[in-house]
Structures are given as structure tokens and as C-alpha cells.
Structure 1
Amino acid sequence: MLDFILALTGFGLLFHVQASFWESLFHEHVLDLTPERRVRFHTLRGIWPRLWATHFDHGVLHHYRTFRQSYVEMFHDADEEARLKAGLRRQFPQHLAEAFTQTRYGSTFTWLGLLPFAIPVWLNLLWLLALPPGAATAGCLAANLVFSTPYLVFSKWVHPYMHMRFEDAMQETSGLLRRILGSPYGVAIRISHYVHHQDPKVNYNLQYLADRLRGRWRAPTPEEWDDMISLSLVEPHHRTQLEGRTFLGHPF
């Protein structure tokens, strides 16, 4: 039992740091490329088309082709989405155009698109080759499942609700997902994510840590707090509780 606990604790710490850094770096250098870097990255389109599609899905469609008029409304009307779909069908093969629709234009990802997001999870399985069968191996597997996957879970199931009004998100969800969204951490990443959309060079993490250590995190300005309140993205009591405070190791 002791071997399991030690392996779970040690590997858990390692895997959390690793996953948080992967998320932050992958988000900055693949998903949210600057226009200048996007030109250079375009050369990879023929080598790894799925990686290019992942970038286009999130960095272009999610950030610039949707939520254009309001942070909490993906499209102004049905015609706007229809025009986007038509443009994608002209620009990309049918299977890619359909994949962009399935991901809701970068708001989540399909299981086919899981591979680049989950690279740390796959790599951590190599530890099993060096560990003897038994409690330590079980602890490593448990740590990989618990500590390497939160940003995958958040990216697929939580992120789509980051752009919804708080009360709407709470009404549309139930169970564990509702608990996550309503928790202090869920509200914190909702606030942090809003700042990311105002300033795409900061606040990449949904699994907190690396942004802070890399100097890629900033708190919302008073004006951004006002905007979030006016959008009903958060409620006034959230501002009272969180503005300028530190809780759960998270820098609000």
C-alpha cells in the first residue's frame, strides 16, 4: 500500500506539472499562433495535416470566426453560421469541414483530434516499462489518469461552457460538470479564459500552474471585471469574493 501511495504522490506531482506545461506551451505555440508564426507553421500542413487542422480549428475559427459580436454568442444568427460552413466547404476537404463543425469550431475536440492534446498521457505510459509489476505500477497508472487528464477533460467538456452566461451554464448542466463549473476553481478558469480572449498572449491554462511559472498569466483589469458582469459571465458576488484574492493556490 505504501508503494502505491508513494508512486501516486510522486508521479502525480510530476504528471500535473508536465501536463500543465504541455497545455500552456501547446496552446501558445500551436493553437494560438500569431499571424507571423502561422505563416511559418503553414509549412507543416503537408507533413502533419491533423496538427494544422487543430490549430486552424482553435486559433482561427474559435478565436476569430466565432463569438465575433458577443463573447457569449457563437453566432449572431443562423445565416452567419451558414456562411462560415459554406466557406469551410470551399476551403477544405469535406472530412475536415465536417470535423470543424463537429468540434463546434474549436470549442471542443473530437476523439480523432485527441492525439496531439494527449501526448503527455501517451508518453507517461513509457514509465510502465521501467517499473516492476505491482503497487508502484498501479500508482503510476492512477497518477496518469488523475493528474495528466484534467486539461483534456476541461478542454472537451468544460470549455464549451466558458462562453455561456453563468446562470445558463448552471441550468444546462448537472452532476459533476455542474459542480466543476460552480466551484471556485471553475469560476476562476472562466474569468481567466475571458482574459485570454481579450489578450491571447496570456492565460492559456485550464489546468493551473505553468502559465504562472512562465509569466504568461495576468489578472483581469477592473474594466474586464465590469465587462464580465455586464455579460452575466460571472455574478457580482464572484467579483466580491475573488477580485485580488488568492485561493486554492489559484492567483485570484
Structure 2
Amino acid sequence: MNPVALTTGAGQIVAGAVLGYLTVSMAESFLHRNALHARLQVRRAAQRLGPAGRPLLRAYLSHAVVHHGKTYRESHVRQFQSQEEQERLDRWIVETQGDRRIIRERYGVSLAGLGILAFVAPVLPFFALYAFFLPAAAFVGALLPLAIYPLSSLVLHPYLHLPRAEAMARASRPTRWLIETRYVRFISRHHYLHHRYVHCNYNLLWLGDLLLGRHRLPSDQDLAEMRGQGMIC
């Protein structure tokens, strides 16, 4: 086989992976800010759209209202203070919102069922264009970050809300290796700041926040509070 062809193919895969990563990271930061934390004007516009606006309203309910507002109220690493608190939230979700998927998704911590498709749907048009315009090898490379994108919420996000010792005890051996990486320790700090200050640090696949001017570094006090909660940091 021609070595030049191999080099070219490998280069195309790498270039496609970089393009795919930039796409999902920028989209994650933008959508997290503007959909999951949608402003009142945006939510009102979504209400006027009827069924077309429901995915945004549901995403806002699950993330901003439930995950940020009704859970982890006292601690970044403790979702509920009591069983009674969790049961009250379950009743509120079922009786007033009628959306049991929020419960199956562990109150915005993970993804389940159609939630996985809804999570990736906004970026799929970009990858449809890449399928038409990129060489096959580059498109294959671009698909790798697309696969990692929902996995960051499905697999990694739950461990970011646990004390390190508990995370290591619960995790499989490959996940324990992942938790110990510098990247996950960085993302753990990054995500904590998002919950503390909200309007920053939207990424689990980091970079988009930096490019969009939404990245915030921890202060000494922030770091002390993370260590006090036994976080992965």
C-alpha cells in the first residue's frame, strides 16, 4: 500500500476529528447557555412555537429548574438532603410537569432513551453537511467526537457530582482510570464553577467556552471549597 496514501488518510482522519471536536464543543457551550439556561424572552418565544418549541422548554425544565434549582442545593456532591426531599421532587415532576423522563435521567445528571437523541439532534445538521463535503476519511474522524459528545453527559457527568472517594468506589476500572486523568480533574473544577456561578463554564468537552469568552478559572476560595467537599480535583 502506498505510504503517501496512508499518511494522507491518517491526516484526513485527524483533521476531521479536530473539526468534529470544534463543532461539538462550540455547540455544547452555545446550546448550554442559550437553551438549557434560556432567557425568559427565549422561553416565551418557544411557547409561542407550540410543539416546535417544546424540546427547548423541556431542556430548560430538566436542566435549569431541576438540576440547578431543585437538586444539589446544599452541596455540589449531594443531590438531596433527605429521601423526603427527593420524594417531594418526584411528586412535583409527575403531578405538575408530567415528565417522568427527568426522573429516569436522574434529575438532569445523565441521559436516557430519547434524551440521547434530543441531546445530539442540534449538531446533526453540521455532520450531515460534513458527510457531503468532506472526504470519507475526514468524515470518519469527525464522527469520533460526535460519539463522545453524548457520552460525556451519559457517563462522565454523574461522577463530577460525587466525592472523589465515592466516585472511585462506584466506577469500573476504565472509568477509574478516566477519573484520575488531568483532563477530568480539570473538568471537575470547571463544572463546579458552572454550578456556583452559572453563567460560565458550560463545557464538558472543553474549548468552546474559551473561544466564546465563557471560561472562568477557580479562585483560591473556590479550590478550598472543592477540597472541602472531597471533589475530584
TM-score scaled to structure 2, two decimals? 0.89
Question: What corresponds to 1:65 in structure 2?
Answer: 70
**Of the candidates 87, 93, 101, which is equivalent to residue 88 of structure 1?**
93
Question: What corresponds to 1:109 in structure 2?
Answer: 111
Measure how far apart 1:194 and its partner are.
0.4
Report if the CA contact (8 A) 2:20-2:144 is conserved: no
Measure how far apart 1:163 and its partner are.
0.8
Question: What corresponds to 2:131 in structure 1?
Answer: 128
Which runs of 4 or more aligned residues in structure 1 lie more than 6 Å from their structure 2 counterparts after TM superposition? none
Question: What corresponds to 1:148 in structure 2?
Answer: 146
- Distance (Å, rounded) in 2 between the aligned partners of 1:39 and 1:128: 35
1:48/1:138 CA distance change after superposition, 3 Å: same
Matches within 5 A, 1:188-227: 188-227=186-225
Measure how far apart 1:37 and its partner are.
4.6
Q: Which letter maps to 2:131?
A: L
Q: Which letter maps to 1:149?
A: A
Measure how far apart 1:122 and its partner are.
5.5
1:29 aligns with 2:34: yes
Question: What corresponds to 1:5 in structure 2?
Answer: 10
TM-score scaled to structure 1, two decimals? 0.83
Instruction: Spell out, residue by residue over 1:165-207, the C-alpha distance to the aligned partner (whole angstroms, 9 max, x if none).
Output: 0111011102322222110000000000000001110000111
**More helix per residue:** 2
Secondary structure in 1 matching 2:80: coil
Secondary structure in 2 matching 1:70: coil
Return the structure number with greater relative CO, CA threshold 8 A, min gap 6.
Answer: 2
Measure how far apart 1:148 and its partner are.
2.6
- Distance (Å, rounded) in 1 between the aligned partners of 2:19 and 2:92: 43
- Distance (Å, rounded) in 1 between the aligned partners of 2:185 and 2:139: 30
List alignment gaps of at least 5 residues for structure 1: 239-252
Q: Which letter maps to 1:32?
A: H
- Distance (Å, rounded) in 2 between the aligned partners of 1:178 and 1:99: 28
- Distance (Å, rounded) in 1 between the aligned partners of 2:172 and 2:74: 29
List alignment gaps of at least 5 residues for structure 2: 1-5
Q: Which letter maps to 1:169?
A: A
Report how many residues are paired. 227
- Distance (Å, rounded) in 2 between the aligned partners of 1:42 and 1:73: 33
Identical residues among aligned pairs (%)? 26
Measure how far apart 1:71 and its partner are.
1.5
Aligned-CA RMSD value: 2.0
Question: What corresponds to 2:3 in structure 1?
Answer: none
Measure how far apart 1:115 and its partner are.
2.7
1:89/1:207 CA distance change after superposition, 3 Å: same
